[in-house]
Amino acid sequence: MPRKRKRKSRAGVVPLLLAAVLLAGVVWAILPHHRARRTAYVPRSTPQRRAPAPVKAAPSPSIVPAPSAAATGLESPSAVPAASPSTQPGATGAKVAIVIDDCGQWPDVERGYLRLPIALTLAVMPHVRYTSQIAQEAVDANKGVMLHLPMEPVSGRAAGPGEIEVGMTDEQVTEHTEDDLAQVPAAEGFNNHEGSAASADPRIMKDVIAVAKRHGVFFIDSRTSAKTVGAAQAQAAGVPTASRDVFLDNVADEAYTESMLERTLAIAQRKGSAIAIGHPKATTLAALQAMYPKMEAAGVQFVLARDLVR
């Protein structure tokens, strides 16, 4: 009986061995395919690298006109124009000083004046966006530089930051004038911006002129009021001074400004010299571009404002 059980047990082992061999074969067949799939797999989190695109050469820089400051908030200056002489060698006859007020606010137009091949003077406002920038560009272009001093008008409207007001004490007038002048270190003189009220006040003008005397700079009376005492106060204090003869652009029209330049020419021929004040307006610039060759042909010598103070 025991021997018969042993045979039956051996007979049961054979199928198990065959099953194990078959299972091993199946596993062996599957493993290479599985390895290949794992080797070829690339996770989505790791992007395939691409060959870098060829670098294009940068285009050559080109000079473009300065955009409008009002539209773009322009900060960086355009190319500095070639310097122009303060007086034209060999020129004789009547002398004309062109002063451009309100500068430091519209550099695109103001640079147009700096490019003109004639002597002229920029009167720069204190405490505005381009005060230092446009004053330096004017120096680099060999143009004249003045402070355009804000002073209270009879209308009562604000004349701008740094304004001299008639209600100020003597100390305040002095402090404000000193501070405004410090804004434009290159200024050789100043004239009044607005100021129809303040320029008619002897006390105010005495204080203002005292600052001019202390710094050795001149004063040009813009004559925004017939009652102004600015030039008289300057003369009394021994400060070099002169007064405006013509406003060029009370009307922003090219033909009008050309007629005012003709008036300037007539005054200069009659008196020997004339001071004309304009502003950073495109029409004024265009009129001056058209008229300066004609004025030179008529014997005019363009000079800086400093050349006409006495």
Tell me the per-residue pLDDT of 223-254, one tens digit each, with 9 for 90 and over: 999 999 999 999 999 999 999 999 999 999 99
Write the single-letter amino acid at 18. L
- Closest Cα to residue 152, out of 103, 208, 214, 212? 208
Average pLDDT score, the chain: 80
Q: Are residues 107 and 234 in the same domain?
A: yes
Q: Which domain holds residue 15?
A: 1-33
Does 232 fall in a domain? yes
pLDDT at 239: 98
47 belongs to a structural domain = no
Indicate whether 76 belongs to any domain: no
Do 101 and 21 share a structural domain?
Answer: no
Q: Are residues 115 and 252 in the same domain?
A: yes
Domain count, the chain: 2
pLDDT digits (tens, 9 = 90+) for 127-172: 999 999 999 999 999 999 999 999 999 998 999 999 999 999 999 9
Distance CA 157, CA 128 (A): 17
Per DSSP, the three-state class of 30 is helix
> Per-residue pLDDT averaged across 9-17, rounded?
51
Residue 87's pLDDT is what?
39
Tokens of 186: 């290159």
pLDDT band at 24 (very low <50, low <70, confident <90, very high): low
Cα separation, 134 vs 146, whole angstroms: 11
Strands 273-278 and 301-303, sheet pairing: unpaired
Q: Is residue 241 part of a domain?
A: yes
Band of pLDDT at residue 22, cut at 50, 70 and 90: low
User: What pLDDT is stored for residue 150 in this prediction?
Assistant: 98
pLDDT at 17: 53
- The pLDDT score that the predictor gives to residue 304 is 98
- % of the chain at pLDDT higher than 70: 70
> Which of the four pLDDT bands, split at 50, 70 and 90, describes residue 46?
very low
Residue 56 lies in a domain: no
Q: Are residues 26 and 131 in the same domain?
A: no
Query: Is residue 284 in a domain?
Result: yes
Q: pLDDT at position 151, please?
A: 98
Reported confidence tier of residue 93, pLDDT bands at 50, 70, 90: confident
Are the C-beta atoms of residues 73 and 107 closer than 8 Å to each other? Answer: no
Residue 217 corresponds to which amino acid?
A: V
Q: Look at residue 59 in the predicted model and tell me its pLDDT.
A: 32
Looking at the domain assignment, is residue 255 inside a domain?
yes
For the chain, the farthest-separated pair of C-alpha atoms sits apart, in whole angstroms, at 157
Residues 216 and 93 in one domain: yes
pLDDT of residue 18: 57
Same domain, 119 and 11: no
* Residue 11 in this model has a pLDDT that exceeds 90: no
Nearest-angstrom CA–CA distance, 239 and 181: 16
**Residue 43 to residues 31, 32, 35: CA-CA distances in angstroms?**
21, 20, 16
Q: What is the pLDDT of residues 274-296, one digit of tens each?
A: 999 999 999 999 999 999 999 99
CATH number of the domain that 277 lies in? 3.20.20.370
Residues 20 and 105 in one domain: no
Residue 296, domain member (yes or no): yes
Q: 10 pLDDT exceeds 60? A: no
Give 131's contacts (C-beta < 8 A, 6+ positions apart). 104, 124, 125, 183, 184
Number of other residues whose CB lies within 10 A of the CB of residue 115? 15
Same domain, 27 and 89: no
pLDDT in the model for residue 91: 44
Measured CA to CA, the distance from residue 46 to residue 244 in angstroms comes to 76
11 plus 125 within the same structural domain: no
